[in-house]
């Protein structure tokens, strides 16, 4: 990330000219340009889109749903890793079930280190701030930089756990065992408070179930419990 921040400084000093030995790197600092670049990336890709997703968003998630559904239907693969805060966003939770039903592969990490979209192996959009949604992005077509970003995504994909099954409207689908509901939310990095509110159970019941599940899985941490549950195909 420090290297990318350095690229931003070089671009600003050069008034937007490409840097890094002639490789194509562009600075994007406004919402309309960012959305146009993202949409063009999706339309131009032929194999897959890979995304590290977290807020804030420069446009409502629902506004981007139609294009992804269209490209999924056309055979473009989508793999997305979401930060655990997705469970707190009604806007995101409202669109995820439809995307997953259409074929998006999604996983969850407790802490998302960055926000990024990769188009095939050809380009990337990388957010360099958590503050304003379109404050500073890099559009990268650099082989050297892309190799590192692609490797980062694949490493995080291996660490992430499967997204819980979701129903339309943003809730967790009814499953056979209540404990499975808790496990799926644990896998997504949810706190006890988030689990209580999502499943409409008391904080004391949540704490008791979480402790029992962690003991059963031999897990020392909540995230480890989610990983173990996913590996054992409990979720």
The reported pLDDT for the residue numbered 132 is 53
More confident residue, 81 or 219: 81
Residue 11 predicted with pLDDT over 80: no
Q: 112 vs 81, 213, 214, 216, CA distance in Å? A: 8, 25, 23, 28
pLDDT score recorded for residue 214? 86
At the fourth CATH level, which superfamily is domain 2-162?
Answer: Endonuclease Chain A (3.30.870.10)
Instruction: Name, of 4-13, 24-33, 50-59, 219-228, the range with top average pLDDT.
Output: 50-59
pTM higher than 0.85: no
Q: 178-231, what's its fold? A: Arc Repressor Mutant, subunit A (1.10.10)
- Which residues partner with 115 through β-bridges? 127
Domain with CATH 3.30.870.10 in the chain: 2-162
Q: Which residue, 38, 163, 186, 36, is CA-closest to 95? A: 163
Distance from C-alpha of 15 to C-alpha of 4, rounded to nearest angstrom = 16
Q: Measured between alpha carbons, how far is 16 from 218 in angstroms, rounded to an integer?
A: 53
Where in the chain is CATH 1.10.10.10?
178-231
Q: Tell me the per-residue pLDDT of 157-182, one tens digit each, with 9 for 90 and over.
A: 988 877 766 544 444 333 345 788 88
Position 4 scores a pLDDT of: 65
Arithmetic mean of pLDDT, 62-80: 95
């Amino acid at each position: 990330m420090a290297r990318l921040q350095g690229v931003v400084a070089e671009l600003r000093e050069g008034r937007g000219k490409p840097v890094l030995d002639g490789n194509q790197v562009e600075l994007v600092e406004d919402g309309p340009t960012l959305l146009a670049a993202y949409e063009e990336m999706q339309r131009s890709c032929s194999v897959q889109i890979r995304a590290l997703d977290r807020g804030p968003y420069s446009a409502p998630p629902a506004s981007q749903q139609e294009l992804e559904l269209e490209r999924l239907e056309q055979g473009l693969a989508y793999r997305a890793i979401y930060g655990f805060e997705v469970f707190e966003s009604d806007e995101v939770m409202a669109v995820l079930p439809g995307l997953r039903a259409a074929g998006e592969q999604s996983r969850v990490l407790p802490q998302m280190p960055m926000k990024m979209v990769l188009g095939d192996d050809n380009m990337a959009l990388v957010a360099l701030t958590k503050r304003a949604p379109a404050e500073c992005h890099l559009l990268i077509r650099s082989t050297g930089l892309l190799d590192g970003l692609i490797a980062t995504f694949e490493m995080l994909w291996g660490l992430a756990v499967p997204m819980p099954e979701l129903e339309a409207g943003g809730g967790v689908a009814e499953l056979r065992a209540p404990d499975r509901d808790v496990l799926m939310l644990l896998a997504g990095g949810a706190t006890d408070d988030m689990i209580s509110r999502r499943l409409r159970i008391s904080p004391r019941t949540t704490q008791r179930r979480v402790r029992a599940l962690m003991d059963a899985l031999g897990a020392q941490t909540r995230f480890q419990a989610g990983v173990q549950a996913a590996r054992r195909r409990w979720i």
